[in-house]
Amino acid sequence: MADLSGLIFFLLEIFLEVSASYSVSGLYRGVWYQPVEHYALLGQSFMNISGISAVRCSVRCLSHHGCFSFNYDHINQVCQMNNASAEHVCDNFQGMPYFSYYDATAKPMTCQINFDSRKGKCTPWKTCSTSEKLGLEDGSIPDESITASSIRTEGLYIGTPAGGRLNKVPPYSNIIGGWHPYAADTNQWIQVDLGNPTYVTGVLTQGRNGGNAQWVTKYRVQFEPPSPACLVDVKDQLGQTQIFNGNTDRNSIVERRFFKPVLAVKIRIVPVEWNEYICLRFELLGCK
């Protein structure tokens, strides 16, 4: 019986090795697991296995009752099996070049872009040849899906998150033409809940409509992957947190693309520098 179990385990590894793409996929038809690249869960590893692929690492983790996630070191080909998932210990979830993090407890996702019936798996993100506006400007993303760290409500003027939609013109004179937080510091943010996992490829930004000369000159972008439930920074080609150049006036639209698309359920814009005060209108680009 032990020999039979070992044979089945070996055949499963071989099957996954052949069927999996860069992401751990092919376990189910049209269903896949997405890694969080350049990140690892630190301090939770209970077993390291050298010289195996990420796919075989996933098999070892899924077959071990104490493994909730794993990190994979692409340079040294080391599988680090973790006794927790980043969803429960987000503080230990940190940027690590050349690593990928996989959550063994994550629910598999159906394809958000295309399903290749011939290959039995999702097509890569590179097949998404054009980026569309995801629905802030046209209102298909509802107001309740847009939240912020704070809003300006004192006095007669209000700057709500919903006012941060691209090309938004305030309907009343007491509404500020853009999202306008209560404070001007680097702790402020505006966030969009996309509802479902969506590939996001970039951002369009504007400054304040009318009124004072207020716009964001530099910002960073964070996203929440389908799993874990932690916000992570959008990275540049070197694996470092990317700081995007924003606007130089109130109404010009500035487009900034990510080095590579991110699969996200939430996107957060964090102003880093601004002219006079933080005020922002924006749209997300991606693949619907």
Tens digit of each residue's pLDDT (9 = 90 or more) over 184-194: 999 999 999 99
The predicted-structure confidence for 155-181, as pLDDT tens digits, reads as follows: 667 889 999 999 999 888 888 999 999
Q: Who has greater pLDDT, 277 or 116?
A: 277
Q: Which of 2-11, 24-33, 54-63, 212-221 has the lowest mean pLDDT?
A: 24-33
Q: What would the two tokens of residue 98 be?
A: 């050349």
CB-based contact 81:54 (threshold 8 Å)? no
Give the Cα separation of 115 and 31 in Å (integer): 9
201 or 59, greater pLDDT: 201
Q: Which of 283, 247, 252, 257 is nearest to 138 (CA)?
A: 283
Q: Where are the beta strands (DSSP E) in 129-280?
A: 132-133, 146-148, 190-206, 215-224, 232-233, 244-245, 254-275
Architecture in CATH of 2-127? 3-Layer(bba) Sandwich (3.50)
Task: Print burial letters for 179-191: b (CB count within 10 Å at least 16), e (below 16).
Answer: bbbeeeeeebbbb
Domains 2-127 and 132-287 in one fold:
no
Tracing tokens 């506006």 back to the chain, one arrives at 133
- Average per-residue pLDDT for the chain: 82
pLDDT of residue 112: 46
Q: Report whether pLDDT(30) > 80.
A: no
Average pLDDT over residues 40-59: 92
Q: How many CB atoms lie within 10 A of CB 3?
A: 7
Name the token pair of 188: 């402020």
Domain ranges (residues) in the chain: 2-127, 132-287
Judged by average pLDDT, the poorest of 49-58, 137-146, 277-286 is 49-58
Supply the pLDDT for residue 23.
44
Q: Structure pTM?
A: 0.76
pLDDT for res 125: 44
- Helix 54-62 / helix 2-19 crossing angle, nearest 10 deg: 140
212-223 in b/e burial notation, b at 16+ Cβ within 10 A? eebbbbebbbbb
Per the CB < 8 A criterion, the answer to whether 177 and 211 are in contact is yes
Q: What is the mean predicted confidence (pLDDT) over 235-258?
A: 94
CA-derived radius of gyration, the chain: 22
Find the range with the poorest average confidence among 9-23, 25-39, 114-128, 234-248. Answer: 9-23
Architecture of domain 132-287: Sandwich (2.60)
Give CA separation, 96 vs 5, 99, 202, 267, in Å: 36, 6, 23, 21
Asked if 50 contacts 78 with a C-beta cutoff of 8 angstroms, the reply is yes
User: In the numeric block, which tokens belong to residue 279?
Assistant: 């005020």
Buried b (16+ CB within 10 A) or exposed e, 55-71: bbbbbbbeeeeebbbbb
Query: Would you say residue 120 has pLDDT above 50?
Result: no
